[in-house]
Amino acid sequence: MELSETFHALGDPTRLRILRLVAVAKLNVSEVVSLIGVAQSSVSHHLAKLKALELIREERQAGFTYYSLAVDASDARWPLIQLAQKSEDAHGDQARLTELLRRREDRHTLNEKLLEPGQSWLLWASALSSLLPKLDVADFGCGSGVLTAELSRWARHVTAIDRSAAALEQAKARLSREKRSNVSFVEADLHDLPAGLPKHDLVVISQSLHHVNDPAAVLTQAGQLLKPNGRVVVMELMPHAEGWVKARLGHQHLGFEPQTLEAALHAAGFTDVTLTSTPRDGSSPFRAFLLTASRPARPSKRAAREARA
């Protein structure tokens, strides 16, 4: 009877995905929701079903309830669990889990190894940002406004640009909650910005290029939006093989070779292009890099020729 019920329970694809995840690491409900992308009420229902069958256990840690696999090799259902673990990961759950665990470890390292009592790295970040000059900043592909909010803390003004009206509404709500009045919002395609936008000192493009059809065209738009001697900062992903990000997250490119975007910046008339890469982390399929560049006070001869053509 127990084996039959287990077969029936794992016949649900979502329940099977959850079991595979908690078999690797202890996870709370919010983490499971973020990994498989279904409503919290549905996740809680599936967790309750798995717990009733004693396939998983729950325990409290630091105010959260964590779930983990409760079956071991002595259980008659163990071969079934092993079969589930070896099945194809069509949704990319394991890659997202690896990234979640990496971020969790980063937070643990920061809390346990770097912080002294009474010391706040957030306060240090705030203090350092207060030393920056007041700049007019454009946030290309602002999404829900997480980065926009951080930029608004030290910028003179931030123009948050996104083609998604729904994302802009989320960004507006976030900035309203934080009582930031130095942000304006523009609904526009990054390939073709509306005429009449003011010039900016800085354009930030944080992991937005992998969402667009033509990254080179977006970089050209960034150059046209900058003041002379203005700068652009681009953060992107190295090439990777995680194809699930296209259907799940709307990515159009599986990362970029840094040299490809460097060449696109030069073609758009930027100079002083610099590249900074993050160290390779074998536990994560994703690796980021940072490019910065300047818009010269006068366009290069090549850029001037292309503008006249």
Contacts of 143-150 with CB under 8 Å at 24 or more apart are 143/167, 143/170, 143/171, 144/170, 144/171, 144/174, 145/170, 145/171, 145/172, 145/174, 145/175, 146/174, 147/204, 147/206, 148/174, 148/175, 148/183, 149/174, 149/175, 149/178, 149/180
Look at residue 198 in the predicted model and tell me its pLDDT: 95
Q: Give the mean model confidence (pLDDT) for residues 69-81.
A: 86
Angle of helix 78-86 relative to helix 13-22, nearest 10 degrees, comes to 100
Rounded percentage of the chain residues whose pLDDT exceeds 70: 85
Q: What pLDDT band is residue 148 in, cutting at 50, 70 and 90?
A: very high
The average pLDDT across 186-211 equals 96
Kind of pairing, strands 226-237 and 271-277? Answer: unpaired
pLDDT of residue 156: 95
Instruction: Report if residue 180 sits inside a domain.
Output: yes
Confidence bin at 122 (pLDDT 50/70/90): low
Whether residue 225 is predicted with pLDDT greater than 50 in this model: the reply is: yes
In a domain, 103, yes or no: no
Q: How much is the pTM?
A: 0.65
Instruction: Give the integer Cα–Cα distance in Å for 175 and 157.
Output: 13
Q: What is the pLDDT of residues 129-142, one digit of tens each?
A: 777 788 999 999 99
CATH code, domain with 194:
3.40.50.150
Statement: residue 116 has pLDDT above 80:
no
Q: Are residues 79 and 176 in the same domain?
A: no
- 141 and 278 within one domain: yes
At 115, is the pLDDT very low, low, confident or very high (cuts 50, 70, 90)?
very low
* Cβ contacts of 58-65, under 8 Å, gap ≥ 24: 59/26, 61/26, 64/28, 65/28, 65/29
> What is the arithmetic mean of pLDDT over 274-289?
79
Q: Looking at residue 193, what DSSP letter applies?
A: P
Q: In this structure, are 143 and 236 located in the same domain?
A: yes
Among 24-33, 159-168, 282-291, the minimum mean pLDDT is found in 282-291
Q: Report d(CA 148, CA 186) in Å as an integer.
A: 13
**Which pLDDT belongs to residue 110?**
47
**Same domain for 80 and 182:** no
> Do 157 and 16 fall within a single domain?
no
Q: pLDDT averaged over the chain?
A: 86
- For the cut 80, the answer to whether the pLDDT of residue 168 exceeds it is yes
Is the model more confident about 270 or about 117? 270
Model confidence at 176: pLDDT above 50: yes
Do 86 and 134 share a domain, yes or no? no
Identify whether residues 149 and 83 lie together within a single domain: no
Question: Of 35, 70, 94, which marks where a domain is finished?
Answer: 94
Position 115 in a domain: no
DSSP state of 285: S
Task: Give the mean pLDDT of 10-27.
Answer: 87
248 — pLDDT class (breaks 50, 70, 90): confident
Q: Which helix (H) or strand (E) holds 186?
A: strand 183-187
Which whole number is the average pLDDT over 113-141?
A: 72
Residue 262: is its pLDDT beyond 60?
Answer: yes
**Which pLDDT value is given to residue 113?**
46
Check whether residue 199 and residue 90 sit in a common domain.
no
- Tens of pLDDT, residue by residue over 40-73, are 889 999 999 889 888 899 998 766 789 999 988 8
- Structural domain count, the chain: 2
**High-pLDDT (> 90) share of the chain, %:** 48
Is residue 236 included in any domain, yes or no?
A: yes
Taking alpha carbons only, the member of 161, 275, 267 closest to residue 223 is: 267
Question: Which domain, by its residues, includes 14?
Answer: 2-94
Question: Around Cβ 46, how many Cβ atoms within 10 Å?
Answer: 21
Between 98 and 197, residue with greater pLDDT: 197
β-bridge partners, 139: 160, 204
